[in-house]
Amino acid sequence: MGSQYGLKFAVHLVTNHFGKIVAKVCETLFRKGPLSLGEIIRCTELTPEQVKNSLLVLVQHNCVQAYVPADQFRDEEESTVTVEYLALFDNVIHRLRFPKFLEIAKRQLDDECEKVLDGLLRDGRLTLKQMVERAVQGKENPGAIEAVVRGSFHKLLKAHYVERCPAPEPVVSTLIKAEPAPRKRGSKMAKKFEAPETIEQRVMEAALPGEAIRFAVIEYTGGNADREANSDDTIMVNVGDNSGGIANEGSILWRANFEEFIRHLRHKLLIENERKRLDDGAATILSAILDATKNVEKKVKIEKSVPLSLDSIFTEVTKNEYGRTMTIDRVRASLVQLGCPQRNLDDSYSIDLKNIVEMARNEEVESIVLKRFGGDAYRIFRLLSKSNCFLETDKIAELAIVDKKEAPRLLYKLWKDNYLHMEKLVVTAAKQSRFMLWKVNKPVLWEYVLDEMYHAALNLSLRLAFEQEKDEDLLHVSRDKLTPTDKSGEVNSVQKRYLRLRDVLFLMGSSLMKLDDALMLFHDF
């Protein structure tokens, strides 16, 4: 679930896309957690019809998942099944980055795939039949267009950018199992602490189709052109009476697989960061490793890359033009630079991806510190961040070469704005001495910075809307009057306003997309 401003920003996005009534239902689910239909009606004070329609819209657009809590079945007398609705924070925020997903489909596949994906993103979920109908509407030569749509759909499916929609109302146990206590303190049997699964994770896991059918396509028994469009690698499911229901292209719903797009964006960040930090060679090797193993990654936020032998890595690297110039020794040296100095026990290599993400997060936060607090504070912050331990005030001033009078003031400012953690130490010897100890607590700081970023994203969106409203009248001015035509280059006041508005919208739009990269860095990667 999101932070305070994360939720506000998510509600803002829902309001912009679906209106205030739908946003009210979504906000209620965010604030109160999963609720039944009756509970939502009571909390929102909307009419049952309004709530039902809102839920239908939110489910259609994958912002809400319905499920049936299993614990209600313990009472055998209970005859009615209560469905609860869970708002999906991540999926709401993903709506901000639809243009990025479309760009990925366009670059990696082609324009036609982008169009098919666009339909899925706009409409939330579609059957293959609906995708075809959407494309051929009002067009000549529907047969050819249909073939293109099917071909594009298969490409998207093969790349895992499209998936089957989840089960509509899976049964989910909502009880959190108590972990058995370890037998002895320090016992080798003691488990590493893992946070219990959230209700959202349980519901999504239960709803998600099994891997075998998640990207499975139905065999189309139409013309030859369509058979050719089907990839040999796509898993085929036989249509037949033993399926327990007729699974055909008119009833299976498909949607964009956000997880795969986020994985792609994560890989892109990892590769580009290492390119900037090291060189093209290291980026090529990392790219080869991630490409080779993306289909076997169990989840997006893997900490280490899937282990590969040096031979496998080298084979992948040489598929690339730049990679063909590298020797095995060069590859080995780059693996050291990438933070993988030695092989695992089974002679495989694994890159610490979590470390690359952490370095990127550090850079983002340090950039804020530099701009907000200045150069000396930046140096102090980086010292504490790298030390990853408590340091005393005078020691900080000495190591960072900052005036000893200035250092306490800067440290206090950073602490007051939640960028540093502080503790007081009192030492009683010949006389009592007080020391102030300072530290960067990264997990806490990153959550705080993420919330600030959601706040900033909300502010950007609101200001963008405000600027558009201010110059709303320009929408009614004909286009030829908006652009300067005079050879002298002079512009009148309307044209000035238009040019300003154009520049403002471009600046804020691109800033929001850049800020969204940072949101993914701190939340999704």
* 498 touches other proteins (CB under 8 A): no
| Nearer to other proteins among residue 214 and residue 502 (C-beta) | 502
**CB neighbour class for 262 (10 Å; exposed up to 12, middle 13-18, buried from 19):** buried
* 301 touches other proteins (CB under 8 A): no
Residue 360: its H or E element:
helix 353-373
| Nearer to other proteins among residue 297 and residue 417 (C-beta) | 417
Closest CA to 5 of 504, 468, 462: 462
Of 111-119, 169-177, 291-299, 461-469, the segment contacting other proteins by CB under 8 A is: 461-469
Tokens for 431, please give them.
């006389």
- What interhelical angle do 280-293 and 258-277 show, nearest 10? 160
Interface pattern 44-83 for other proteins (x via CB under 8 A): ----------------------------------------
| Nearer to other proteins among residue 122 and residue 372 (C-beta) | 372
The minimum distance between CB 315 and other proteins, in angstroms, equals 21
| Nearer to other proteins among residue 243 and residue 367 (C-beta) | 367
* 422 touches other proteins (CB under 8 A): no
The minimum distance between CB 68 and other proteins, in angstroms, equals 37
Q: How many positions of this chain bind other proteins (CB under 8 A)?
A: 52
| Nearer to other proteins among residue 8 and residue 52 (C-beta) | 8
* 417 touches other proteins (CB under 8 A): yes
DSSP 432: E
The minimum distance between CB 222 and other proteins, in angstroms, equals 48
Q: Which of 355, 375, 433, 444 binds other proteins (CB under 8 A)?
A: 375
Q: Which of 235, 252, 370, 474 binds other proteins (CB under 8 A)?
A: 370
What's 190-251 look like in SS3? CCCCCCCCCHHHHHHHHHCCCHHHHCCEECCCCCHHHHHHCCCCCCEECCCHHHCCCCCCCC
The residue written with tokens 């060069």 in the block is 330
Q: Which of 179, 197, 205, 279 binds other proteins (CB under 8 A)?
A: 279
* 497 touches other proteins (CB under 8 A): no
Contacts 24+ apart (CB under 8 A), 453-457: 453/515, 453/518, 453/519, 453/522, 454/2, 454/3, 454/5, 454/6, 454/8, 454/9, 454/519, 455/5, 455/8, 455/9, 456/515, 457/9, 457/96, 457/512, 457/515, 457/516, 457/519
The residue written with tokens 């019809």 in the block is 49
Q: Which of 78, 197, 403, 423 binds other proteins (CB under 8 A)?
A: 403
DSSP 72: G
> Which residues, listed in sequence order, are joined to residue 86 by a DSSP beta bridge?
65
The minimum distance between CB 200 and other proteins, in angstroms, equals 26
Do 72 and 118 form a contact (C-beta atoms < 8 A)? Answer: no
* 366 touches other proteins (CB under 8 A): yes
Helix (H, G, I), strand (E, B) or coil at 57: helix
Tokens for 423, please give them.
């503790």
| Nearer to other proteins among residue 73 and residue 506 (C-beta) | 506
The minimum distance between CB 297 and other proteins, in angstroms, equals 26
Cα 513 to Cα 501: distance, rounded to the nearest angstrom: 18
Footprint of other proteins on residues 334-353 (CB under 8 A)? 336-337
CA-based radius of gyration for the chain: 28
> Which residues, listed in sequence order, are joined to residue 435 by a DSSP beta bridge?
425
Cα 270 to Cα 19: distance, rounded to the nearest angstrom: 37
Distance, C-alpha 38 to centroid of its chain: 32
> Which residues, listed in sequence order, are joined to residue 423 by a DSSP beta bridge?
437
Interface pattern 303-332 for other proteins (x via CB under 8 A): ---------------------------x--
Residue 424: its H or E element:
strand 421-428
> Which residues, listed in sequence order, are joined to residue 436 by a DSSP beta bridge?
424
Of 200-208, 348-356, 433-441, 453-461, the segment contacting other proteins by CB under 8 A is: 453-461
DSSP 435: E
* 523 touches other proteins (CB under 8 A): no
* 458 touches other proteins (CB under 8 A): yes
| Nearer to other proteins among residue 368 and residue 477 (C-beta) | 368
* 108 touches other proteins (CB under 8 A): no
| Nearer to other proteins among residue 152 and residue 495 (C-beta) | 495
* Paired sense of beta strands 64-69 and 171-172, if any: parallel
Of 146-154, 290-298, 343-351, 500-508, the segment contacting other proteins by CB under 8 A is: 500-508
| Nearer to other proteins among residue 31 and residue 42 (C-beta) | 31
| Nearer to other proteins among residue 122 and residue 386 (C-beta) | 386
Of 240-248, 260-268, 306-314, 391-399, the segment contacting other proteins by CB under 8 A is: 391-399
* 455 touches other proteins (CB under 8 A): yes
The minimum distance between CB 419 and other proteins, in angstroms, equals 12
Q: Which of 129, 227, 319, 500 binds other proteins (CB under 8 A)?
A: 500
Residues binding other proteins (CB under 8 A): 276, 279, 330, 333, 336-337, 363-368, 370-372, 375, 378-379, 382-383, 386, 394, 398-404, 417, 449, 452-453, 455-456, 458-460, 462-463, 466-467, 500, 503-504, 507-508, 511, 514-515, 517-518
